[in-house]
Amino acid sequence: MREYLKFYIDGKWVDPVEPKTLDVDNPTTEQVSGKIAIGGAADVDNAVKAARKAFATWSVSSREERLDLLQAILAEYQKRSADLAEAVSEEMGAPPSLASGVQVYLGMGHLSGAIDALKNYEFEVPRGAAMIFKEPIGVCGLITPWNWPINQIACKVFPALATGCTMVLKPSEVAPYSGQIFTEVMDAAGTPAGVYNMVFGEGPGVGAALSSHPDIDMVSFTGSTRAGIDVARNAAATVKRVTQELGGKSPNIVLDDDNFAANVAAGVAAMMPNSGQSCNAPSRMLVPKSRKDEAIAAAKAAAEQVKVGDLEDKTAIGPVASKAQFDKIQGLIQKGIEEGATVVAGGPGRPEGLETGYYVRPTVFADVTNDMTIAREEIFGPVLCILDYEDLDQAIEIANDTDYGLAGYVSAADLDAARAVARRIRAGQVAINHAFDLNTPFGGYKRSGNGREWSEYGFDEYLEIKGTLGYSPA
């Protein structure tokens, strides 16, 4: 049993102001695996005071000092990679191969990206007789989710450090173990006292206190659109900057060409990793109506090949992260059936032979129209919807007919054709043939949020822009 009962404030492990704990479940066993301390407004206030004090010196640190710290963090991160992987498996159910692979790798990738970006980032840009300075925004409140826990911590903490900000992190209370070990990494790397602080807590307590705190200058939030709206409301009274990476209902437009069946199968394969718990998952597959039957057959075959709960199989998916998530997904699968969609693979209930653990059957719906609940709401599980289109204009119209705009996908053999479609999708990131690159910006249009993360694009969110006129002789 893990017990993480202290917070990290001002370079020290400290007790909560008011002792309160929360049990943490293991979604694979459905048993309590540990407990964490839960903070409140007083703990947040202590952490913010420490961060404000540290900002005076860290904000004027040199590029070399920040690079040295990031390099030290990288060394400690590599030492603890196995511990991080074990924590992710235990807290949110990622199979060992996924936890030790992509889950841990993404944190390291964002760290390496921040180091590379910082080496050449221009904090001073001359413009005629003026100088444009990019200065750290101040004390940042960082609120992260449970689905890619290390990834989301990394792509907030590292750009904040690189730009000279100080911070208070609230990891997800659903998946807090990796946040604890990440904080141990930060401590072991010699992060100056107060620069990085961590308080466990729930959204209505610590999250609300962070987003409304008058001495927090910026909040970076990743989570549901509903919770993101609450964060923005809490932040409004103090007119602080809010960046949000929220929900998605991403379209995958499969073009009519010789690679069609393989591209359908690839779309299913891209939907299932992390048990579908990715905000940018390609959850709406759009196929030509003339090839609908072929698409259904290919998707059904691909979904039925997805193994669930087999720890020895590196391709197998694990459970979803919690009972609440499992119940939500089951309810939406049932809603799809009630609204007339056809289950061609998977369906309600657990996979055969898995009576313990929050496992969901890899599910494919056909005969889906874009007004159905399963086509409108983010399911956040291994559930794919197939919709059909008459022509590309209609495909684009369906793709963009959503409240979200986080990601989009185009699957095609003809790169020029794919490029033309990608230009028309209203989303912050569009992948052709499921390409992936950490050096690109990540963030959404519409109700998928605002601001961008990853590589140097994430730096801008943590900087204020100051124009200094008459800086140089006219």
Active site residues: 245, 279
Q: What is the DSSP pairing of strand 241-245 with strand 218-222?
A: parallel
10 Å Cβ neighbour count for 135?
Answer: 17
Cβ–Cβ under 8 Å, residues 234 and 211: yes
In the 8-state DSSP scheme, what is residue 101? I
The C-alpha atoms of residue 104 and residue 84 are separated, in whole angstroms, by: 7
State the sign of the Cα–Cα–Cα–Cα dihedral 308, 309, 310, 312. Answer: positive
Beta strands in 2-129 (DSSP E): 2-4, 7-9, 12-14, 21-26, 31-37, 124-127
Q: Residue holding tokens 């609440």?
A: 324
Please name the amino acid found at residue 373. T
Cβ–Cβ under 8 Å, residues 364 and 208: no
Cβ–Cβ under 8 Å, residues 6 and 335: no
In the 8-state DSSP scheme, what is residue 331? H
H or E stretch at 466? strand 463-468
